[in-house]
Amino acid sequence: MNLATHVPILAIAVPLLGAFALPLLAKVHRSLRDLWVLLVGAFTVAMLVLLAVQVFTGGILVYTLGAGTPGDTVPEGFPIRIMLVVDGMGAFMGLIAALVGIAGLAYALQYLEEEKGKTLALTLMLLLWAGMLGLKLTGDLFNFFVFFEITSVAACGLIGYRVWESRPPEAAFKTMVMYTLGGLLILLAVGILYGEYGALNLAYLSAQIGQGPLDQIALGLLLGGLLMKAGSVPMHMWAPDAYGEADPSTAIVLVANTQAALYGLFRIVFTLYGGAGSPAVGGLVTALGALTVIVAVLMAVLQTDLGRLIAYGAVSQIGYMLLGAGVGMATLGAAAGGEAGFGLVALQGGVFHMMNDAACIGLLFLCVGAVVRATGARDLRALGGLGHSLPGVSGLFLLGSLALAGIPPLNGFASKLMIYQAAFRLSPILTALAVLASILLLAVFVRAFQGVFLGPRRPLGGTAAVPTGMWLAMGLLAVVVVAFGLVPDLMVRHVVAPAAEALWTGREAYLVAVLGG
Amino acid sequence: MILETFEGFWSPLVWTAVAVAVTLLALALRSRGRRDHKKGTEQTAPFLSGEAAPDGVHVGGQHLYWGFVEALRPYIERLRAAHTGFVVDYVTWLVVALAGIMLLVLLV
């Protein structure tokens, strides 16, 4: 068997089967469970990197399940089988999942406590990882819904598994209500499109879809469900509850989960609908992006819980991604006439910011974990002086904060600069709002840093020693924050640009790869 | 090593080189400062409004930007009031947003 041929399905199947095998191995021995997690994590990351190399060097990869050969997509002239389709955007999202997944698992292995549901949390993390990857790689709309639900169930479990505390189950319940409604909206849209066209293959639907009322209703339902799960204002209120109450080691994967919803939004608007009605949809996404940036940052100013403060910071970053993508969508029609190159730059900025946000926010959540482990507290009013006992963590927290606020030369600056400049061409007000939000975000994180790490030494409630696995996870994300900031051109040229092009002009290539010329 | 940003460009390495040069210049200027400064004396002790600061005082995170938050309080209170924490309100916002989205995609 040529392993390279089966990379797309292995990238999903290995963490999925790994999740189900994990509780059984934990019954045998805890060391075996931990070794299994590391093996599954390393293998999945290797598959995702290999997948990205294949796609960025050889173009779109199609894998048909149940076919004699993976490339046999239309056996009798109709794409009936389950299909995985990986273009530049899918491969890029796979890389984000690889980074977040391996950092989260390495951290969780040493952060989580045995008597506090460690095996359950690790199982749910692997399940969430598999669901995210399936959502990003699938080529048909029904499996998109299935993986959407897998991520929802696993995410709610991860938020609320600490049932001995009162707040996590409450946050999980709220998230579950919202995710269920979002899932129903998507299922309704899937039903409408299936009833109309008799197929659910994305490429086939994309070739058939028009702008009739039913198509538009399905688009509206998909937008509603995906914007909600992405955490867009005013449907964002579950997100601070979820991120804030989740274990810091799992919050990093939950943030990546919202990015998966954002990816779904891009895939629907650019690939399925081909930008149909894009000025209106683009205007909507742009407006929601600007609103999300401002509202989330202002709410962050008020927070006294470190976890919720970072959670609002994470929501504000979703706003930047929506802003970049929205400007791209709004100008897609004009781009056909060669007039709106700034739309592509905005889209590139939004896509690049997904990777940068995953690294910055991930790093901040992991630092919160180290603080909680050391003190047992997350309240800014109770914390202080941790810079004396946790100098390394304080340095990493400062690094993540500065990057998130867009301070050069760190990674957040490069992607935000692309969004600022491109959005300015659409409306200077958008750029003004985005810059203002970044300034406020810097103020918020200066406040958090001052409150937690500066000041005189205070007695600790826990252990200040940070284990090696946690250092490795935080170090990996810190390296990404610095490296992508110092050489953003390499990232944009080799990874981000192909991903954005796959959305911007890659629809025809996507259709040809699946349906044939 | 230059990132094109449509209207301009961004070179982090040049920025870093300039930042290092400015830092070195600042350190050079600082080294020419007053020679009568002594560490560990009352010269370096913090004080609040002319009074010696009590030991262990820390201006906590919640105190920073007090004036800023006060100035924005009318807006922020409205935002806070909208974030009730009740899941029924979350669903209401979803329904309202969905109605807006539907109107937009169907009518525009």
Residues in CB range of B66: below 8 A, 6 or more apart: none
Buried b / exposed e over B85-95, threshold 16 CB at 10 Å, is eebeebbebbe
pLDDT for residue A467: 93
Count H helices, E strands: chain B? 4, 4
User: How many whole angstroms separate alpha carbon A197 and alpha carbon A339?
Assistant: 34
User: How many whole angstroms separate alpha carbon A499 and alpha carbon A487?
Assistant: 18
Interchain contact B33–A (C-beta under 8 A): no
Q: Cβ of A173: how many Cβ atoms within 10 Å?
A: 16
* Interchain pair A224, B94: CB under 8 A: yes
Interchain contact B45–A (C-beta under 8 A): no
pLDDT for residue A429: 96
Place of tokens 């929205």: A326
Tell me whether the omega of the peptide bond preceding residue B54 falls within 30 degrees of 0, making it cis.
no
Residue B73: is its pLDDT beyond 80? yes
Q: What is the DSSP letter of A69?
A: S
pLDDT for residue B56: 65
Interchain contact B88–A (C-beta under 8 A): no
CA distance B81 to chain A (A): 11
* Interchain pair B3, A414: CB under 8 A: yes
Strand, helix or coil at A66?
coil
Record the tokens describing residue A406, joined without a space.
């867009």
User: How many whole angstroms separate alpha carbon A472 and alpha carbon B96?
Assistant: 44
HSE-up (13 A, CA, CB side) for residue A473: 34
Q: Which of A217, A302, A306 to mutate against chain B (most B CBs within 10 Å)?
A: A302
Contact A198, A247 (CB under 8 A): no
Q: Which of B10, B60, B90 sits opposite A174 (nearest CB)?
A: B90
pLDDT for residue A460: 67
What chain B residue is nearest to A220 in terms of C-alpha separation? B102
User: How many whole angstroms separate alpha carbon A165 and alpha carbon A388?
Assistant: 30
CA distances from A129 to A16, A96, A158, A473 (A): 8, 11, 12, 16
pLDDT for residue A81: 87
pLDDT for residue B62: 67
Q: Which is it for the CA torsion A270, A495, A478, A46, positive or negative?
A: positive
Q: Which of A220, A408, A447 sits opposite B61 (nearest CB)?
A: A447
Task: Give me the tens of pLDDT residue by residue for chain A, a chain 517 residues long.
Answer: 677 889 999 999 999 999 999 999 999 999 999 999 999 999 999 999 999 999 999 999 999 998 888 778 887 777 888 999 999 999 999 999 999 999 999 999 999 999 899 999 999 999 999 999 999 999 999 999 999 999 999 999 999 999 999 999 999 999 999 999 999 999 999 999 999 999 999 999 999 998 899 999 999 999 999 999 999 999 999 999 999 999 988 999 999 999 999 999 999 999 999 876 668 899 999 999 999 999 999 999 889 899 999 999 999 999 999 999 999 998 886 655 555 688 999 999 999 999 999 999 999 999 999 999 999 889 988 888 899 999 999 999 999 999 999 999 999 999 999 999 999 999 999 999 999 999 999 999 999 999 899 888 877 666 678 999 999 999 999 999 999 999 999 999 999 999 999 999 999 999 999 998 6
Record the tokens describing residue A461, joined without a space.
């409630």
User: How many whole angstroms separate alpha carbon A330 and alpha carbon A426?
Assistant: 9
User: How many whole angstroms separate alpha carbon A144 and alpha carbon A150?
Assistant: 10
pLDDT for residue A338: 52
Q: Which of B2, B61, B83 sits opposite A451 (nearest CB)?
A: B61
* Interchain pair A455, B60: CB under 8 A: yes
Interchain contact B96–A (C-beta under 8 A): yes
Contact A259, A93 (CB under 8 A): yes
Record the tokens describing residue B76, joined without a space.
């922020």
* Interchain pair B93, A174: CB under 8 A: no
Amino acid (1-letter code) at residue A261: A
* Interchain pair B97, A418: CB under 8 A: no
CA distances from A61 to A12, A132, A172, A240, A415 (A): 15, 18, 36, 37, 27
Contact A185, A221 (CB under 8 A): yes
pTM confidence score: 0.94
ipTM of the complex: 0.93
Q: Which is it for the CA torsion A142, A11, A488, A479, positive or negative?
A: positive
* Interchain pair A216, B106: CB under 8 A: yes
Interchain contact B53–A (C-beta under 8 A): no
User: How many whole angstroms separate alpha carbon A505 and alpha carbon A501?
Assistant: 6
* Interchain pair B79, A425: CB under 8 A: no
CA distance A244 to chain B (A): 13
Record the tokens describing residue A160, joined without a space.
């609320």
* Interchain pair B2, A489: CB under 8 A: yes
User: How many whole angstroms separate alpha carbon A254 and alpha carbon A125?
Assistant: 9
Record the tokens describing residue A260, joined without a space.
């998966």
User: How many whole angstroms separate alpha carbon A121 and alpha carbon A337?
Assistant: 51
Interface of B with A in 59-78 (CB under 8 A): 59-62, 64-65, 68-69, 72, 75-76
* Interchain pair B90, A454: CB under 8 A: no
Interchain contact B34–A (C-beta under 8 A): no
pLDDT for residue B51: 72
What chain B residue is nearest to A276 in terms of C-alpha separation? B105
CA distance A283 to chain B (A): 10
Please report which helix (H) or strand (E) contains residue A112, including its range.
none
